[in-house]
Amino acid sequence: MTDLLSLNTCFVCGEPILYKNTPETSVCSVCGMEFNCEGSCANGHSVCKECYNNQAINIIKTTCLNSNSKNPYDIAIAIMKNPAVRMHDVKHHILVGASLLAAYNNSGGSVDLFSCLEEMEKRGKQVPPGACGYLGSCGAAVSCGAFYSIISKSTPYSEEEWGLVNTLTGICLIEIGKFGGPRCCKRDSFIALNAAIDFVSSNLDIQMEKTDKLICDFSERNKECIKEKCPYYNKEW
């Protein structure tokens, strides 16, 4: 089963997606191009992977630009709940840092949010799929490092900023690693956000808001959920 199959609702109309035993050639309901379709909704909508990807990135940017929240969790979850964002997806490598940028901006750390989001997209796309398991560097942690690099204008030639960027990424990885695997883009994103909020408060004196007791709304969608071992597990599922 591919990542595409972890999406269970059509982002064109919101109807459930009905998956096929064997992929069939179909026409994308968004761009009109033919593609190898793994599922369509009851209304006949089928969307190619490229359009899902473009839609997800647009959702990330639009949500961040229009949010007044100082809480990066709220911003990230609003993005995650959109059907265009899959359960496990490289888009988390963008959305974690993007949510931090928006909350940081709303908390008094004024930045040119539009240009910063453009840069976050560019950097997040460079983190490959499966970096958590194959490279030992979860994309959620790297996304936090990219966020801090952007707001501090760090480069490979920076001094103090260089150290702080790597320190934040390292802290996020240590916290993520404490809970073990398998992967969960939601769990790892929440852990990384928590670490980044505290790091920014300590080093930049900008206090973003933090959710006291976050309960995950995505457990049911994750066949690899570690359940009670996860600090955000929804025990009602």
Residues whose CB falls within 8 Å of the CB of residue 98, separated by 6 or more in sequence, listed in order:
60, 61, 64, 75, 79, 117, 120, 121, 124, 147
Give the residue-averaged pLDDT of 109-117: 96
Alpha helices in the chain (DSSP H): 49-66, 72-80, 92-106, 113-124, 131-134, 139-152, 160-177, 185-204
Q: At 4, which amino acid appears?
A: L
Supply the pLDDT for residue 237: 58
Supply the pLDDT for residue 78: 95
pLDDT in tens, 10-41: 767 777 888 878 888 999 888 888 988 888 88
Supply the pLDDT for residue 1: 29
pLDDT in tens, 137-185: 999 999 999 999 999 999 999 999 999 999 999 999 999 999 999 999 9
pLDDT in tens, 184-236: 999 999 999 999 999 999 999 999 999 888 999 998 888 899 999 999 998 77
Tell me how far CA of residue 74 lies from CA of 6, 37, 100, 122, in angstroms: 22, 33, 10, 23
* Token pair belonging to 51: 């359009």
This prediction has a pTM of 0.83
Does residue 72 have a cis bond before it (omega within 30 degrees)?
no
